[in-house]
């Protein structure tokens, strides 16, 4: 029987009260890896009570001491990178190289949060009025929680956790129930890093655990990453309960290819963006708009690159793309390709109905390229979250920017060009929070906020960097007068 995963509460592993559990599958083989409990509201409540007690001491711990367990965690993450990366590949499907890259981004966020003694400094102004000084200080909120998606189980928890705890909060993670094994491994390292009991906790589960988090009066702030529908739901329920919320949603990322672009570089980078992580990335290129004369060469090279990509089990040598997460996901992606065809698109490279030798039960969809996708077709507007690139064409950069801005999502938009004026105009005019110029996955490094817009983000302060510091702290302004000192004769 598969191992039943545990929660991590009060510095120790605990069995959930859950009556229900789900199988965790390897999407390359459909083999069961473990069983994840669907924790109850009582599990969440127990963890929050422990965290509330731990907060009383943790917020009084000097910030220079609070970052010490993070320094140790960074080293532990680096020492265990291979093991963590293999866990990601086995439960999430991406290639080992992609998993290692993911863990690198996790480590970078820990490093950035180690700068908290500087990052959470306040401001002051002496003599703001006669004999009056004013100070703004940052204080932690209390207990905070993060709810994370399946596609980056090793990285996304680190967009939040290091900043939250370094700022003096106690933190609860509810990872995706589809990829909970990576979190078990991360928390085994959290346990060794020396955080006081109750400061960092893990509760596995699905909707019930999420609702318990959203309704719990002891949780002050909620960070969420997942699909737009769930992001909206989490944002409104958290807000209705008086919590701070930052909710990152889905995406449909357009890329513009100008006739002056370096076509070899553009197609190589775009193939990595569209088909990397099997397209299951919120920063995956999903619609490529070629402008004017760029069309024939770009289309031909994109077809060749897509057809060449080696697909298989992510830990096998030379594999460039793994499976999608589940049988349902594969069926949905293949259904959307068929719908695109019915809506008038031409399937130039068809990734449907193919098997990988030795992994016949795996959820593989090969790279797919659709051409002449009508702007109003579902394929052009819906997040497919699979290895499907839709091609569109525009006569001018104005038309291309209009197509980019005619969509509801705003996670990322990219342009490929060698003309600085085109690049500047694009950067200036596009409605997207993350912009790539000759870059296919414009993922902000940990020292910058992850700036989604539109239907890709609900809230005002984003993940990472100084936005995270602001999100996890509340400001207190002190206006101060000492009459004896002020009336002193000089």
Instruction: Report if residue 248 touches ligand NAD, rule: CB under 6 A.
Output: yes
User: Which residue stretch of 9-17, 128-136, 205-213, 259-267 sits at the interface with ligand NAD (rule: CB under 6 A)?
Assistant: 205-213
- Cα 158 to Cα 166: distance, rounded to the nearest angstrom: 12
Instruction: Report if residue 210 touches ligand NAD, rule: CB under 6 A.
Output: yes
Instruction: Report if residue 340 touches ligand NAD, rule: CB under 6 A.
Output: no
- Shortest Cβ 205–ligand NAD spacing (Å): 7
- Non-local (6+) Cβ contacts of 423 within 8 A are 415, 417, 437, 438
Of 290 and 434, nearer to ligand NAD (C-beta) is 434
Give the up-direction half-sphere exposure of residue 207: CA atoms within 13 A in the CB hemisphere: 2
- Shortest Cβ 401–ligand NAD spacing (Å): 22
- Per DSSP, helices labelled H in 199-326 are 207-215, 228-240, 263-275, 295-308
- Cα 291 to Cα 416: distance, rounded to the nearest angstrom: 10
Report helix, strand or coil for 276: helix
Of 168 and 226, nearer to ligand NAD (C-beta) is 226
Instruction: Report if residue 16 touches ligand NAD, rule: CB under 6 A.
Output: no
CB 201 within 8 A of CB 44: no
- Shortest Cβ 442–ligand NAD spacing (Å): 12
Is 170 in the active site? no
Instruction: Report if residue 247 touches ligand NAD, rule: CB under 6 A.
Output: no
Instruction: Report if residue 46 touches ligand NAD, rule: CB under 6 A.
Output: no
Instruction: Report if residue 277 touches ligand NAD, rule: CB under 6 A.
Output: no
Instruction: Report if residue 288 touches ligand NAD, rule: CB under 6 A.
Output: no
Of 270 and 277, nearer to ligand NAD (C-beta) is 277
Instruction: Report if residue 206 touches ligand NAD, rule: CB under 6 A.
Output: yes
CA distances in angstroms from 84 to 80, 184, 186, 279, 307, listed in the order given: 6, 10, 8, 21, 31
Of 33 and 294, nearer to ligand NAD (C-beta) is 33
CB 287 within 8 A of CB 380: yes
Helix, strand, coil distribution of the chain in percent, nearest 5: 40, 25, 35
Mask 365-384, x = binds ligand NAD (CB under 6 A)? Answer: ------------------x-
User: Which residue stretch of 15-23, 206-214, 341-349, 387-395 sits at the interface with ligand NAD (rule: CB under 6 A)?
Assistant: 206-214
Instruction: Report if residue 192 touches ligand NAD, rule: CB under 6 A.
Output: no
- Per DSSP, helices labelled H in 216-373 are 228-240, 263-275, 295-308, 327-342
User: Which residue stretch of 96-104, 129-137, 219-227, 466-474 sits at the interface with ligand NAD (rule: CB under 6 A)?
Assistant: 219-227
Of 230 and 266, nearer to ligand NAD (C-beta) is 230
Binders of ligand NAD in range 400-429 (CB under 6 A): 411
- Non-local (6+) Cβ contacts of 103 within 8 A are 77, 81, 84, 85, 88, 154, 155
Of the candidates 24, 19, 20, 18, the one whose C-alpha atom is nearest the C-alpha of residue 3 is: 24
Instruction: Report if residue 207 touches ligand NAD, rule: CB under 6 A.
Output: yes
CB 471 within 8 A of CB 223: yes
Q: Is 209 left (phi over 0), alpha (psi -120 to 50) or beta?
A: alpha
Instruction: Report if residue 446 touches ligand NAD, rule: CB under 6 A.
Output: no
Of 251 and 285, nearer to ligand NAD (C-beta) is 251
- Shortest Cβ 332–ligand NAD spacing (Å): 11
Q: How many residues can be counted in the chain?
A: 490
Judged by CB under 6 A, the number of residues near ligand NAD is 28
Report helix, strand or coil for 416: strand
Residue of minimal Cβ distance to ligand NAD: 226
Applying CB under 6 A, which of residues 93, 250, 322, 449 lies at the interface with ligand NAD?
A: 250
- Which strands make up the sheet holding 132-140, listed edge to edge? 123-129, 132-140, 473-481
> Which one from 247, 277, 282, 414 is the annotated catalytic residue?
282
- Cα 437 to Cα 428: distance, rounded to the nearest angstrom: 12
Instruction: Report if residue 336 touches ligand NAD, rule: CB under 6 A.
Output: no
- Cα 445 to Cα 427: distance, rounded to the nearest angstrom: 18
CA distances in angstroms from 77 to 59, 85, 411, listed in the order given: 25, 10, 28
Applying CB under 6 A, which of residues 387, 452, 454, 459 lies at the interface with ligand NAD?
A: 452
Instruction: Report if residue 385 touches ligand NAD, rule: CB under 6 A.
Output: yes
Binders of ligand NAD in range 68-107 (CB under 6 A): none
Burial 434-462 (b: 16+ CB within 10 A, else e): bbbeebbbbbbebeebbbbbbbbbbbebb
Give the up-direction half-sphere exposure of residue 275: CA atoms within 13 A in the CB hemisphere: 28
Of 54 and 430, nearer to ligand NAD (C-beta) is 430
Largest CA distance in the chain: 90
- Cα 181 to Cα 184: distance, rounded to the nearest angstrom: 5
- Shortest Cβ 396–ligand NAD spacing (Å): 30
Binders of ligand NAD in range 129-168 (CB under 6 A): 147-152
Of 233 and 235, nearer to ligand NAD (C-beta) is 233
Instruction: Report if residue 227 touches ligand NAD, rule: CB under 6 A.
Output: yes
- Shortest Cβ 250–ligand NAD spacing (Å): 3
Binding site for ligand NAD (CB under 6 A): 147-152, 174, 176-177, 206-207, 210, 225-227, 230, 233, 248-251, 282, 383, 385, 411, 450, 452, 456
Q: Report, as residue numbers or ranges, the catalytic residues.
A: 282
């Amino acid at each position: 029987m598969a191992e039943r995963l545990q929660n991590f509460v009060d510095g120790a592993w605990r069995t959930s009260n859950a009556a229900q559990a789900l199988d965790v599958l390897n999407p390359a083989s459909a083999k069961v890896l473990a069983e994840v409990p669907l924790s109850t509201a009582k599990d969440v409540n127990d963890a929050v009570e422990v965290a509330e007690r731990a907060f009383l001491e943790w917020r009084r711990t000097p910030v220079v001491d609070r970052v010490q367990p993070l320094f140790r965690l960074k080293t532990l993450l680096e020492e265990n990178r291979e093991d963590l990366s293999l866990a990601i590949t086995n439960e999430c499907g991406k290639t080992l190289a992609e998993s290692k890259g993911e863990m690198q981004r996790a480590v970078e966020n820990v490093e950035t949060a180690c700068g908290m003694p500087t990052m959470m400094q306040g401001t002051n102004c002496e003599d703001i009025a006669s004999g009056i000084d004013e100070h703004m200080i940052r204080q932690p909120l209390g207990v905070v929680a993060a709810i994370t998606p399946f596609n980056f189980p090793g990285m996304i928890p680190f967009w939040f956790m290091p900043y939250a705890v370094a700022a003096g909060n106690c933190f609860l993670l509810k990872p995706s129930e589809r990829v909970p094994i990576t979190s078990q491994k991360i928390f085994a390292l959290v346990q060794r890093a020396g955080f006081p009991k109750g400061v960092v906790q893990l509760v596995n589960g699905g909707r019930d655990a999420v609702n318990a988090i959203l309704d719990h009066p002891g949780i002050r702030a909620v960070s969420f990453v997942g699909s737009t529908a769930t992001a909206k739901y989490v944002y409104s329920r958290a807000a209705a309960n008086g919590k701070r919320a930052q909710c990152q949603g889905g995406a449909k990322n357009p890329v513009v290819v100008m006739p002056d672009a370096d076509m070899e570089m553009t197609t190589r980078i775009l193939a990595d963006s569209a088909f990397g992580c099997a397209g299951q990335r919120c920063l995956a290129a999903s619609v490529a708009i070629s402008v004017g004369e760029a069309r024939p060469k770009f289309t031909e090279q994109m077809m060749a690159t897509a057809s060449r990509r080696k697909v298989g089990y992510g830990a096998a040598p030379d594999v460039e793309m793994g499976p999608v997460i589940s049988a349902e996901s594969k069926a949905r992606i293949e259904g959307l390709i068929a719908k695109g065809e019915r809506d008038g698109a031409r399937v130039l490279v068809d990734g449907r109905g193919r098997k990988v030798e030795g992994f016949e039960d795996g959820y593989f969809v090969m790279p797919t390229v659709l051409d002449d996708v009508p702007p109003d077709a579902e394929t052009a507007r819906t997040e497919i979250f699979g290895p499907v690139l839709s091609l569109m064409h525009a006569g001018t950069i104005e038309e291309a920017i209009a197509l980019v801005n005619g969509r509801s999502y705003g996670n990322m938009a990219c342009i490929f060009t060698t003309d600085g004026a085109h690049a500047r105009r694009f950067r200036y005019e596009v409605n997207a929070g993350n912009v790539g110029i000759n870059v296919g996955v414009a993922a902000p490094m940990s020292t910058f906020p992850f700036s989604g817009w539109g239907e890709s983000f609900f809230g005002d302060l984003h993940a990472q960097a100084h936005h995270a510091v602001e999100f996890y702290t509340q400001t207190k302004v002190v206006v101060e007068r000492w009459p004896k000192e002020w009336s002193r004769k000089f």
